[in-house]
Structure 1
């Protein structure tokens, strides 16, 4: 037994030493040698098995006699040993020759099995390494480096107090936006109310004090629960204006002093109406106060336009002609529009005319009487002035028309010279008034202007002439009363709170129940109107330009890749879109004109700001505003709009405003997963909306993805196959595709950034992918203009994107439906 075991062990050792040779021999055509066959046979047998199990028996020569046998028998066996040995050798030889066909028969199968096993092992090893790398890249389930910056600590506290989409998926993804979560207002200031090329769009500065705040203060009731992007930006600017931790230049000091004087409402109430009455006397007085010099109508109108940014009979803007913009021209023009009338009006679709709202006339009359009473008018005389004011306002209202009607009639951007305009509407001294409004610019009657409602301008001129020629009213000066009540509304934010309270009461009487915006927000907006370049400079100092540019470039690069993945309906559409996209240069929208505080100090050197008189400061503000308007008319460059919140196209540049790169949405010390999950998604969504407004008709993918995501939603909400389910419209499918694609683009951009810089930090110990998706969930209620087309809460997209295998390290198990059973969209 000892010898037999040694022989088997020796064969095994020999096989081990010849493994490499065996692999080489698998490629040979002839391998029939018996030693190799034996080596292979022995090598595949487990050494732990007993000999009997291995099927190997020692030859009879090696078998010892049993000790109970007699000596004669033993002697007989010894004598017969040579003969038996010969017979044994012959037997072994015969057995060996008989075994050869069996080995040859199974040799190829054994070698094939060995080859398959080797290949399977290599494939398994490769898969393991790739899966390990993919998991680390996408999930980062290993140890993560915590971010310990103050911004990260604040973010960690906020995340810990928010609902976690990975622990309560069903409740979380089906929640409503009324819950306590950060919500973002994706729209910027809505200027121009849809007029293409209008100065109140995102590329131009507004000159209307009321319009600028209407959309910003909308939704004030929910401010205690939620925050939108505009509110976040204003909070940031508020912190800048209220911080005094460094020596500031004179321009910065003036901006902060203006802001503080605006907050001091007590100083506004002390003088009452006296500041306004004093100003009226400087303008020649009016009949209401009892001292009127019967000043010329056009001279008074010119003064109101030049010094007080008040436009009673028409509005003035500065902007481009969209017909020229399409050809690459950037010249700006004076644009003349119908005014924002104080009297409430409505459009009568039957008569195709506007008219004063009958039900609002009584409260409107009461508010006008209250204004005159606060200004010291006697009750008997005030009724005459209020009556003529309402009558004149009603006549002007009939000539006005809504934007959509004017757009249908082709009344927008009608070009003519000032000389021709004078001929069409002679009651107004157009050249004199426009020269006053844009002082010190030199204008001539041959300069072109753009009109947005020429029929109104013509009718307005006739109405003014009629009232100027009413001799029986010459002592009451109805046109001056009309102009000064408009001036009152311009200056009301800087006057006694009794005036603003009267305006608020009238608003409530009209059915407006929105809560008034906090005073600090109003003061930040007013400060920006006059000191925008100062605030832009301060914000630029606090923005992480390098990090912002990096995420912009990565998101835009991922969007270009996404466009190649779409299934386009026709090659022409794809070529046009890609040509447009390839020509764009995305960048952060900054102002290069003002580069230092010294230049700012020089620019505001003639501005005086009092610490105790907000009324006089407000007059300075209106003067600054007028200078900004004149500057827009002569310059070709675009100043960065600090309050803009959406990317804009300017020539071949795709501009991203600085005001969106602020906490809590973005911070340079955040983990990149957090920045890409929130800011990356918002950027991608805004770009897709801007560049692909008609993508539904251009790509079949939009419909397929929209339906797939909707199928996920119906399954999870148990509405599939029930009558409560409804099909998505084209606009809804497009919005679902936009938001789902934006999330995919942001995630792809984040992975690309990890390839460039593999190291990233984390918050609260979350894996990077989970932190990315959790950060995205914090902006779930983004209230952009397209929100009405989103049929579900955007956070539900997390369940759809996590249906992709190996993406989310933590399975989103929902009590309604397991997400792993859903298809990948």
Structure 2
């Protein structure tokens, strides 16, 4: 029995012994190591699982913490002041984001005005900045502009002096004719006034984009639209006649003669307007501009001494009869020449009065309040007659800031960049752009309608694009921005100081075009709020004035920066590829798929209701619609990737918006403006469509705002272009 129990016990013990028993020492050690590794993996998995559950509870349940820094509180105030949270975001997100107290907020206009206030603070504190000799003239000019007492005391005297320099005019009773071309040359070169055409130096819009003198249609003080009702047109002419009569009286003209000269000026303007060729017509004819020599233009429009007038205006350029120029409307110039010849043969005095009255309008910013009020009343009456919005009233300081920034841009650009675009802002903006660019590249790699060869070319173009951020290189290096302004002579008369600045600015622009310039020539100043893509330089440009609150700040929640500034960056990047969307622009692509996506987008935008009186031309806006829709999608993709790899997201306190809801809210904030204020020539869709079109095309928007299927912002079908 003993042995059997022993044998039995022994057998039971052998079955229960550990795996190491019976193994060699080496095998035993290996098994122990494997067991410890397995236990470590199991422990790590348990800890990770618990961490994920805790993260999901804290982040998704309680949500990210609110940002309570001063810049975030300011942004919250801005959102609360500009939006209307009582509106259902699924039925009218534009009103939800932009409509407040029966009015529409205008984010870009508000940012423009804030940038002017920043410039004002700079101009009113010259002692706070290290200035080079000569740069103090910018501050002296501003102070002179703000000295309304001295301007009012001088009255019309400085303007009468200018008229005498032009030989006088019949209304004053003191007229010594200088000759038509002599007067025209003085008006163009010394006073910046172009009564019959505009002349400017600018790069050609087509390759090789070299700077060339361009002759364009004139600008008129009155909206002589072709489709106005006869009654409205008559009222407009009556108001303009009243304005011209008032100018003549303010200048001391004989009241019995003023009316005749005002009538004659209106007649000349009306006939010039009839000669204009609409832009659409010239576009269809392929005649946006024609290259001719000065000699050829002299033969076709002989009343103007083109060589002498252009030489005086564009000094220090050296011109000759064979010098090429770009003419935008050649037929207009031919007819203009014939009209002026007839007027010269009838009564030279009426033509002189027409030129003088136009000059007064050009110089009105530098004149006393009587002239400025006459111009303001005219503009207000014209807006009423053409159903335009009321004319906004701006304080004196804002006009003085605008004139100062135009004449002293080199100095003010450096100071503005120093004030608003420091290293932390530069670094954060460039980081955002890099992430947006990477998202675009990822999207291009998966684009279904693009063939492989075109895809490679597109990826190469995106990779090689230059990015200009904040301000020109010379403005970011103050020593390069130093200007002495030797040619500006500030006078006791503000008008004479103003004219000296006009001449200096034109000469500075001409010199800049004549000198070799290795860098991109910025088309907007640093305080501008418009980003753009330059085809000639293959560069996307984002001025410092745009990369400001409420669109961008290093301390904002990421959702705000990606939704506002990020969408703008993606929008401009897509303009690099706009040629692909034109007929024949991508011959090897899947044309059927591309055209289907474009047609889908066109129908998508056409399906939205518009405010009363607002029109929409889908064929004119399709490029911008594609960039808006794609820009939003790319920015959202970049933001989602950022959330995946980086923690620390915040939101705005008391706004009850999740990070992705805040992203969409910030996108819409960029588009906030009154639809009735849109320029008819604008190639963007009305602001309501710029909000509703892209957002309703995003499934993520409907998901995060929980929009019921079939509502305006959650349609049954969507389009996939980019």
Residue 624, structure 1, aligned to residue 504, structure 2: yes
Residue 421, structure 1, aligned to residue 297, structure 2: yes
CA shift for structure 1 position 177: 4.4
**1:745 matched to which residue of 2?**
634
Q: How far apart, CA to CA, are the structure 1 residues paired with 2:281 and 2:717?
A: 47
Q: How far apart, CA to CA, are the structure 1 residues paired with 2:56 and 2:718?
A: 18
| Distance change in 2, residues 1:453/1:14 (3 Å) | farther
Aligned 1:600-679 pairs, distance under 5 A: 600-609=481-490, 614-635=494-515, 637=517, 638-640=520-522, 641-642=524-525, 643=528, 645-649=530-534, 650-679=536-565
Residue 580, structure 1, aligned to residue 461, structure 2: yes
Q: How far apart, CA to CA, are the structure 2 residues paired with 1:646 and 1:380?
A: 52
Q: Is the 8 A contact 1:164 1:172 kept in 2?
A: no
Q: How far apart, CA to CA, are the structure 2 residues paired with 1:735 and 1:713?
A: 14
CA shift for structure 1 position 435: 1.2
**2:667 matched to which residue of 1?**
776
TM-score (norm 1): 0.67
Residue 153, structure 1, aligned to residue 153, structure 2: no
Q: How far apart, CA to CA, are the structure 2 residues paired with 1:133 and 1:563?
A: 37
Counterpart among 377, 385, 410 of residue 505 in structure 1: 377
**2:187 matched to which residue of 1?**
304
| Distance change in 2, residues 1:14/1:492 (3 Å) | farther
Counterpart among 424, 434, 438 of residue 553 in structure 1: 434
CA shift for structure 1 position 248: 4.4
| Distance change in 2, residues 1:812/1:480 (3 Å) | same
Q: How far apart, CA to CA, are the structure 2 residues paired with 1:153 and 1:15?
A: 72
Larger radius of gyration: 1
Q: SS state of the match for residue 172, structure 1?
A: coil
| Distance change in 2, residues 1:246/1:314 (3 Å) | same
**1:786 matched to which residue of 2?**
684
Q: Is the 8 A contact 2:119 2:401 kept in 1?
A: no
| Distance change in 2, residues 1:634/1:554 (3 Å) | same
Aligned 1:287-686 pairs, distance under 5 A: 287-323=170-206, 325=207, 329-342=208-221, 344-347=223-226, 357-470=233-346, 473-474=347-348, 477-510=349-382, 511=385, 512-519=388-395, 520-541=397-418, 542-543=420-421, 544-568=425-449, 574=455, 577-588=458-469, 590-594=471-475, 596-597=477-478, 600-609=481-490, 614-635=494-515, 637=517, 638-640=520-522, 641-642=524-525, 643=528, 645-649=530-534, 650-686=536-572
Q: How far apart, CA to CA, are the structure 1 residues paired with 2:144 and 2:161?
A: 20
CA shift for structure 1 position 312: 0.9
Aligned 1:211-250 pairs, distance under 5 A: 226-243=105-122, 244=125, 246-249=128-131
| Distance change in 2, residues 1:706/1:814 (3 Å) | farther
Q: How far apart, CA to CA, are the structure 2 residues paired with 1:823 and 1:597?
A: 53
Q: SS state of the match for residue 408, structure 2?
A: helix
Of residues 644-653 and 697-706 in structure 1, the stretch that sits farther from structure 2 once superposed is 697-706
Q: Is the 8 A contact 2:604 2:693 kept in 1?
A: no
TM-score (norm 2): 0.76
Q: How far apart, CA to CA, are the structure 1 residues paired with 2:357 and 2:574?
A: 45
Q: Is the 8 A contact 2:66 2:652 kept in 1?
A: yes
CA shift for structure 1 position 801: 0.5
Q: Is the 8 A contact 2:97 2:665 kept in 1?
A: no
**2:6 matched to which residue of 1?**
none
Q: How far apart, CA to CA, are the structure 1 residues paired with 2:709 and 2:224?
A: 54
Cα RMSD for the two superposed structures: 4.7
| Distance change in 2, residues 1:558/1:731 (3 Å) | farther
CA shift for structure 1 position 374: 1.1
Q: How far apart, CA to CA, are the structure 2 residues paired with 1:12 and 1:265?
A: 112
CA shift for structure 1 position 551: 1.2
CA shift for structure 1 position 437: 0.6
Q: Is the 8 A contact 2:465 2:540 kept in 1?
A: yes
Q: Structure 1, residues 522-546: CA drift from partner, whole Å, max 9, x if none?
A: 4433232212222321232221222
Aligned 1:241-280 pairs, distance under 5 A: 241-243=120-122, 244=125, 246-249=128-131, 253-265=136-148, 267-280=150-163
| Distance change in 2, residues 1:819/1:773 (3 Å) | closer
Q: Is the 8 A contact 2:142 2:404 kept in 1?
A: yes
CA shift for structure 1 position 672: 2.7
Q: How far apart, CA to CA, are the structure 1 residues paired with 2:77 and 2:558?
A: 18
Q: How far apart, CA to CA, are the structure 2 residues paired with 1:708 and 1:504?
A: 42
CA shift for structure 1 position 276: 0.6
CA shift for structure 1 position 448: 0.8
Structure 2 spans left out of the alignment, 5+ residues = 1-9, 22-38, 584-590, 610-616, 676-681
